[in-house]
């Protein structure tokens, strides 16, 4: 007990001595000057970058190609059959900034050809956007093996092997943006979307796992966007005005999205402002879900 009291007494003595010696400062605390300059926004933040976009001649793909060129990138737009659409977008963007490559984006041979053509033309790949896809309206009963294979080939197999073939030509800091859909998260989606949403669920899981792998090993970011209903040929096909009005009603803004609005989100994920974003699926749907 005497030893414990001695320790307490000594502690009090030291505390009193310290408080007597300390002189409170009346001068405001100062901080060292900042050593970094404020970041300025470049008018061409993607200058020197090369982007590959499958399904790049229409809809979201074409809008994305247009925006990336405006931001300074060169783009390779892949197409399947519509050479007129490919020629049109290359003409609009300029043959020095855009290059069209015909290839089946749902086959290994097709994506190998696309990657080789890109590297032969521009020497590198910095941005990869596997955008090509199909949206079959099939119930479980009506879906055939051919429907299943065709949908998974273009929506899942193609993106997977495009990433695989492009990786040797992608440097640290490169970006991959995969395409999902808000329909995976919408409570209003019904049976005919089962096959399509199954492929997009696979894409979201692929995004998460590729991000963990590629960011750690190669410094490559992987994200996905999940658009809501958007006014593309793919989405509008076969839908009446009445159906489109109902779909628009699911949005707080009472309209469906525009391809250029989706392109803005993709461009963000490709740029420096998203360098700390990876493994995410960004829903771009006007608040629908």
The answer to whether position 1 is within a domain reads no
CA–CA dist 269, 31 (Å, integer): 35
CA–CA dist 82, 79 (Å, integer): 7
The answer to whether position 65 is within a domain reads yes
- What predicted TM-score, i.e. pTM, was given to this entire model? 0.84
Tell me the pLDDT band of 107, cut-offs 50, 70 and 90. very high
The answer to whether position 266 is within a domain reads yes
The answer to whether position 186 is within a domain reads yes
* pLDDT beyond 90 at 11: no
Question: Which residue segment(s) compose the domain that 99 sits in?
Answer: 50-283
Q: Count of domains in the chain?
A: 1
The answer to whether position 146 is within a domain reads yes
Alpha helices of the chain — where are they, by DSSP H? 2-21, 59-70, 83-93, 108-122, 145-152, 158-166, 194-218, 233-236, 241-248, 259-270
Chain segment 208-246, per-residue pLDDT in tens: 999 999 999 999 999 999 998 899 988 888 889 999 998
Q: Is 110:86 a contact under the CB 8 Å cutoff? A: no
CA distances from 141 to 148, 153, 196, 208 (A): 12, 20, 15, 31
Number of residues assigned to the chain? 289
Strand bridging mode 98-102 / 127-129: unpaired
The answer to whether position 40 is within a domain reads no
Chain segment 26-80, per-residue pLDDT in tens: 444 343 443 334 445 578 999 999 999 999 999 999 999 999 999 999 999 999 9
CA–CA dist 155, 199 (Å, integer): 6
Q: What is the mean pLDDT of residues 18-22?
A: 43
We report the CATH number of the domain holding residue 159 as 3.40.50.720
The answer to whether position 267 is within a domain reads yes
The answer to whether position 10 is within a domain reads no
């Amino acid at each position: 007990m005497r030893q414990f009291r001695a320790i307490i007494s000594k502690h009090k003595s030291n505390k009193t001595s310290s408080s007597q010696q300390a002189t409170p400062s009346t001068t405001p605390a100062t901080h060292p000057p900042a050593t970094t300059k404020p970041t300025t926004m470049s008018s061409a933040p993607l200058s020197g970058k090369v982007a590959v976009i499958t399904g790049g001649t229409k809809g979201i793909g074409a809008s994305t190609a247009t925006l990336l060129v405006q931001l300074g990138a060169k783009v390779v737009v892949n197409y399947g059959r519509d050479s007129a659409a490919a020629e049109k977008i290359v003409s609009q963007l300029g043959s020095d900034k855009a290059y069209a490559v015909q290839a089946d984006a749902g086959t290994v041979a097709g994506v190998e050809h696309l990657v080789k053509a890109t590297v032969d033309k521009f020497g590198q790949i910095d941005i990869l956007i596997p955008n090509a896809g199909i949206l079959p309206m099939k119930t479980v009963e009506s879906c055939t093996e051919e429907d299943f294979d065709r949908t998974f080939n273009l929506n899942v197999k193609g993106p997977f092997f495009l990433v695989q073939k492009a990786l040797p030509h992608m440097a640290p800091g490169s970006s991959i943006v995969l395409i999902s859909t808000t329909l995976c998260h919408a409570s209003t989606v019904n049976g005919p979307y089962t096959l399509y949403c199954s492929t997009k669920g696979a894409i979201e899981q692929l995004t998460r796992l590729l991000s963990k792998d590629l960011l750690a090993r190669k410094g490559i970011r992987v994200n996905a966007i999940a658009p809501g209903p958007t006014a593309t040929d793919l989405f509008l096909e076969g839908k009446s005005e009445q159906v489109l009005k109902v779909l628009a009603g699911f949005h707080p803004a009472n309209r469906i999205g525009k391809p250029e609005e989706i392109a803005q989100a993709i461009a963000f994920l490709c740029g420096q402002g998203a360098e700390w974003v990876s493994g995410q699926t960004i829903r771009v749907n006007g608040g629908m879900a």
